[in-house]
A and B are shown apart, each in its own frame.
Chain A
Amino acid sequence: MITQFACYDPRRWWADLVSVWQDTRLIVVTAQIAAIYAAILIPFKAGIPLIPGFVELRPANAIPIVASLLFGPAAAWGAGIGNIIGDCFGTLGPASVFGFLGNFLFGYLPYLMWGNLGWLSSGQPPLVQSWRQGMEYGLICVVASGVCAGIIGWGVELLGLLPFVVLAPAIFFNNIVMSLLLGPPLLMFLYPRVQRWHLRYEDIRSSFVAQDNLRPSGKPSSVEYELSPGIADARTHESLLDCKNLSFYYPNEQNPALQNLSFSISPGEMVMLLGRSGSGKSTFCYACNGLIPHMIAGELTGSLQVCGESTRVTPVWKRADRVGLVFQDFETQLVGTTMEAELLHPLEYRQPPLSFNDVKRRISSALSSVGLEPSLDRDPMTMSGGQRQRLVIASVLVQEPQLFILDEPSSDLDPVTRMQLRQTLRQLRDAGMALLMTEQDHDDLQLADRVILLDEGRIVWEGSPDALLRDPHTMRNRGIRPLALTECFEELVCESLPLTIDEAVACAEKMNLMISPPAAVLDDTIRLGELPSLRGSQPDPFVRFEDVYFQYADQPILRNINCFIYPGEFLALLGANGSGKSTCARLLNGLLAPVEGRILIDGLDTRTTSMNELVKRVGLVFQNPDHQIFADTVWEEVAFGAKNLGCSQEEIVVRVRESLAAVGLSVEESAGLDPFSLRKGERQRVAVASILATRPAMLIFDEPTTGLDAEETDRMMAMIRDLNRKGHTIVMITHSMRSVAEYAQRCLLMKDGQIVADGSPRDIFQDSALVRTASLEIPLLSQFSQRWGYTLLTVNEVKASLKPNVR
């Protein structure tokens, strides 16, 4: 059945063009399209020149038409601006004006034409699924490509730069070929997803954000959670944040994201919201600065007063000077290409405008708070992850907010950077700022004055950090990993569970206990269990690094790497950011080749072996699963690698079933799902399954647990251990010393592109000074056991080794 479908209403063409500049989301979409267009323009080349060195077939030329049919006039502005950005790589000139105009129309005409071609229109959404849709799409491609080529060709000839007959046909050919070949599959993949994310132009334009959906709560307040003594008295009338019976439902969700939350925060207080993924931490942060309900639709009940004002009254951007928020993905908050631009940006919207001296004072004070050098011309992209995060914090601090909110600020940081962040936060608290921080782990707990534990949107515990840390049972029940030291003493009759090494030593001494590990600890049986005998007596190495040297643009990354990896090993690659771990991984599967030396995989030299041969032996699971997921269904995604290797249909079916089972995903339940709709932990599993389908003997995991909560991390690590026990050699790149201590058989410690230690985790952790030189810290458990001269790695090892002191 044909339904009437037109992207565009001819009566509102001007309103459409202007509307893009009146909505923040449309402005973001415009900038994204411009950035995508320019970003794909440069690295993605089909290698087929039309005018050698000048015009060649580039997949980017399909973007304006596809974007136009999804995002309407935002695509027109985006394509025009994207083309100018492309020119900024070396061809900026008067012809850029014609480039802008041509690309603007290339990105606008498809939106204007689809559904408005009379009897030629299919009356269907902009997809190519029937011959009528195909005909409509083809016609639009011809017109849009022709207009774009004509305008640019005419303009360039007008300026006397190149003749029309040379340039215009080349541009037309490029546009039409890419639009016709790449456009339909791109639309097929993107249209349903953009529709689901409510990002089509029509959806954004007509989106209704409920401004008045805060209804007076008819439900009585019910404090169902445990309140540790003294907390209720501590609440004052001078609270900066005060919420009462706050509940929130996302649209079309049955379960509330927040349920009857009631608590307050005073100036100079640091409160930590703790909870597993999905417990409502981020939702509460969004509510605090008014993103809920002003930008995130849903049903909000109860009251939330921040800085003496209800969050539903003042829009988000007008509260920015009082409430500062650092997102979990802090990179999204970087908007400038220099440090100065980054710091000035939030101040540019202040009314009345700030004086020059005030701006200068605020910038200098914010930079000194976060300990950043005032190199104002520096590009944030040249800074380390930790420095960038501090810059984002500084860009919030320049506004001098009264309440500062940080959503999981340390999830992606290495131990040294975490330490710097803690110091910064302590200083801010001491300076009288109120801080609200969320975490899904206990690492930074002791920083807080008060902890609020959330589960399924409810407050289930509130009290001091010490009280929570000394209650491992509550933590475990709510999906938080308890402190390893307290777990060791949990089953012993102990007055108070220890939180620090000194307390643990004192506790042990008081109970007349000492560390005396049995043989089962020292031979790793307790830690790793019975290992299958895969290595034989004299195994040949599966991987050989021989004098490997690698550099990027004259910058040495790896120097003189020599090591073997044996079949069936579980190897952890440790080191600070930039130490060369990820480069090693890319050298192993042939994405990079050594500048000097060689790497042999199963006897094959990676420099001379094809990528497809290496892929059958070494699978690399990237940190971000979203970098590889593209298919419509989980089944198609997992089958992709096997298809590329030329497997038969029957073989593919077998491999996909086997791979999904190996990562713990049910074929029946998950095969038909859109992988984009899964949670991050599940997407990571799909990514692993898709690598497993190529049946590699060795699997490399690059930071497999980043961003996962304790339960997801345990599930991921258990899966990796199972794969190892089934015979896969595992190489894991990680910062998590706990995962290394618990699962790895062998470690390589890297520093400045060199291997500085090679041995079992126990051997490596024995030398805590050496580990510290690589910007890492050995686990507290190991530090504790070292008081008795042993290096123990897990809670079970310590429990098995705690014996009565008979001396």
Chain B
Amino acid sequence: MNVSLYLNHGTWVHRLDGRTKTLVVLGFFVLALCFSHPAYLLGILALVVGGLVAAQAGINVKKIWVLATLLVCYSMMLWPFFVEGETPVPVFDVFGVTWEGCVFGLGMGIRLLIMVWGGVWLLSTSTIEELAQASQQLGLPARGGFVFSLAFRWVGILMGAGIGVIQAQRSRGLDLSSGSIMERIRKYVPLVVPLIGHALRQTNLLAMALESKGFHPTAHRSVLKTGKMKSPDYAVLIFLNMLLGMSGWMWWHGIGTLTVRF
């Protein structure tokens, strides 16, 4: 079962170095945190959307649109109840809802969307190994990246096994949809135990398989696929730095920031 969001489209965005893509996404997150006014955040969102279009990642946006919509709606609907303001909203003013709160909620909804779509952009354009390698090149420990990519690889296998387990237990009459909440939760034991048992039986074998291929925690890991930073990488990073510098300056001067009380 393939669980990765990576799309093998070979666009110029895909060809960027892993480090560049990681830094761009971190840049998106910082930019989103610099502003709280919806108008400014919309500008950043447009940038993220541009990135998604350039990466031809629409299919992944479509995959998570329900989740993204719900998150944005929750943010937009809930924040007004927790933010103080001066202009009450008719009907809802009994709950303390103000226009300032609504605008703040809208801004936070857009911020959330920037973050979710920014993550989707990175995952659509980079393989897990590329991310692990980029994190190593950016100074994070190599072993962490390796475990992350190893676990990611096994998720698909375990999910496939999980479906097999569900089918095997349903074939023995296990009905997950009946009974009280307590009973339904307890019925997960016959599903979870075989799956964990299946994985753990292989622990020693997996460790042996790794060392047989030359892996050892103390061994130095070289980065063999050294994607060299090319002109597009530098261009993107220069543009990002300029944007970050400008946004930092605006944040310092309170431009694009809503002043709210909670």
Chain A residues within CB distance 8 Å of chain B: 21-25, 27-32, 34-36, 38-40, 42-44, 46-48, 51-54, 57, 59, 62-63, 77-78, 81-82, 84-85, 87-96, 159-163, 165-166, 177-178, 181-182, 185-186, 189-190, 193-194, 197, 199, 286, 289, 291, 294-296, 315-317, 320-321, 324-325, 327, 329, 331-338, 340-341, 344-351, 353-354, 356, 359, 377-379, 381-382, 395-396, 399, 586, 589, 591, 611-612, 615, 619-620, 622, 624, 626-631, 640-641, 644-645, 676, 690-691, 694
Of chain B, the residue at the smallest CB distance from A94 is: B29
Instruction: Please list 15 pairs of residues, one from A and one from B, whose beta carbons are closer than 8 Å in the complex, sorted by A's number.
Output: A22-B217, A27-B146, A47-B177, A59-B191, A91-B67, A320-B214, A332-B202, A335-B213, A348-B214, A349-B221, A351-B220, A356-B224, A622-B168, A691-B172, A694-B172
> B147 contacts which chain A residues (CB < 8 A)?
27, 30-31, 34, 77, 81
Query: Per a CB cutoff under 8 Å, which of A85, A95, A317 touches B151?
Result: A85
Residues of the B chain whose Cβ atoms lie less than 8 Å from the Cβ of A378? 8
Report A-chain residues with C-beta under 8 Å of the C-beta of B150: 28, 31, 335
Chain A residues in 8 Å Cβ range of B37: none
Asked whether B216 lies within 8 Å of A331 as measured between CB atoms, the reply is no
How many whole Å from A40's CB to the nearest CB in chain B? 6
Chain A residues with CB under 8 Å of B209's CB are: 327, 332-333
Give which listed residue, A53, A165, A346, A690, contacts B172 with CB less than 8 A.
A690
A32 proximity list for chain B (CB < 8 A): 151, 154, 199-200, 203, 206
Q: B259 contacts the other chain (Cβ, under 8 Å)?
A: no
Closest chain B residue to A620, Cβ basis = B171
Kindly identify which residue among B75, B122, B203, B220 contacts A161, using a CB–CB cutoff of 8 Å: B75
A337 close to B129 (CB less than 8 A): yes
A338 in contact with B171 given A89-B3, A317-B219, A349-B215 (CB within 8 Å): no
A182 and B192 in contact (CB under 8 A), knowing A54-B71, A77-B147? yes
Contact B208 A36 (CB under 8 A): no
User: A48 to B188, alpha carbons, bound, how many Å?
Assistant: 14
Within 8 Å by CB of B154, from A31, A46, A89, A193, lies A31
Q: Is the pair B155, A289 in contact by a Cβ cutoff of 8 Å?
A: no
Chain A nearest Cβ from B260, distance in angstroms: 10
Complex Cα spacing A399 to B213, Å: 9
A350 near B185 (CB under 8 angstroms)?
Answer: no
Tally the A-B contacts, defined by beta carbons under 8 Å.
Answer: 381
Comparing B90-98, B108-116, B236-244, B245-253, the segment that makes contact with chain A is B108-116
Q: Which of B173, B205, B219 contacts A641 (CB 8 A)?
A: B173
B6 surroundings in chain A (CB, below 8 A): 337, 379
Known: A59-B192, A94-B115, A181-B182. A43 touches B162 (CB 8 A): yes
CA distance A641 to B173 in the complex (A): 6
Which A residues touch B215, using CB under 8 A?
Answer: 24, 317, 345, 349
Complex: A23 Cα to B24 Cα, angstroms:
34
Q: Residues of B at under 8 Å CB distance from A? A: 1-6, 8, 29, 33, 36, 60, 63-64, 66-68, 70-71, 74-75, 78-79, 81-82, 108, 111-112, 115-116, 118-120, 122-123, 127-129, 141, 143-144, 146-159, 161-175, 177, 181-182, 184-186, 188-226
Q: How far is the CA of A21 from the CA of B218 in the complex (A)?
A: 9
**Do residues B111 and A160 form an inter-chain contact, with CB atoms below 8 A?**
yes
**Contact present for A619 and B213 (CB under 8 Å):** no
Interchain CB contact (< 8 A) of A350 among B170, B184, B192, B214: B214
A612 touches B166 (CB 8 A): no
Determine the chain B residues whose CB is within 8 A of the CB of A40 once the complex forms: 158, 162, 192, 195
A630 and B220 CA atoms in complex are apart in Å by 40
How distant is the Cα of A91 from the Cα of B65 in the complex, in angstroms?
A: 11
Complex Cα–Cα for A95 and B108 (A)? 13
Q: Which residues of A contact B115 (CB under 8 A)?
A: 93-95, 159, 161
Contact present for A93 and B158 (CB under 8 Å) = no
Q: How far is the CB of B244 from chain A (nearest CB, A)?
A: 15
> Is the pair A53, B70 in contact by a Cβ cutoff of 8 Å?
yes
Task: Report which of B152, B162, B182, B200 forms a contact with A88, defined as CB distance below 8 A.
Answer: B152
Report how far A84 CA is from B132 CA in the complex, Å: 13
**Given known A-B contacts A84-B148, A94-B115, A644-B172, A630 and B188 have beta carbons under 8 A apart:** no
CB-defined contacts of B33 to chain A, threshold 8 Å = 94, 159-160
**A197: nearest chain-B partner, CB-CB:** B200
In the complex, besides A35-B158, A193-B200, A630-B190, 6 extra interface pairs with C-beta distance below 8 angstroms are A181-B185, A291-B211, A327-B212, A640-B172, A644-B174, A676-B197
Q: When A162-B75, A341-B127, A627-B165 are in contact, do A395 and B185 touch as well, CB less than 8 Å? A: no
Query: B residues within 8 A CB of A91?
Result: 64, 67, 71, 116, 119
Asked if A332 contacts B127 (CB within 8 A), the reply is no
Could you tell me if B171 and A591 are in contact, using CB atoms closer than 8 angstroms? yes
Closest residue to A316 on the B side, CB-wise?
B211
Report if A337-B128 is in contact (Cβ < 8 Å); known contacts: A39-B155, A43-B162, A381-B1.
yes
Expressed in whole angstroms, the minimum distance between the Cβ of B259 and any Cβ of chain A is 13
**Bound complex: CA A52 to CA B3 (Å):** 23
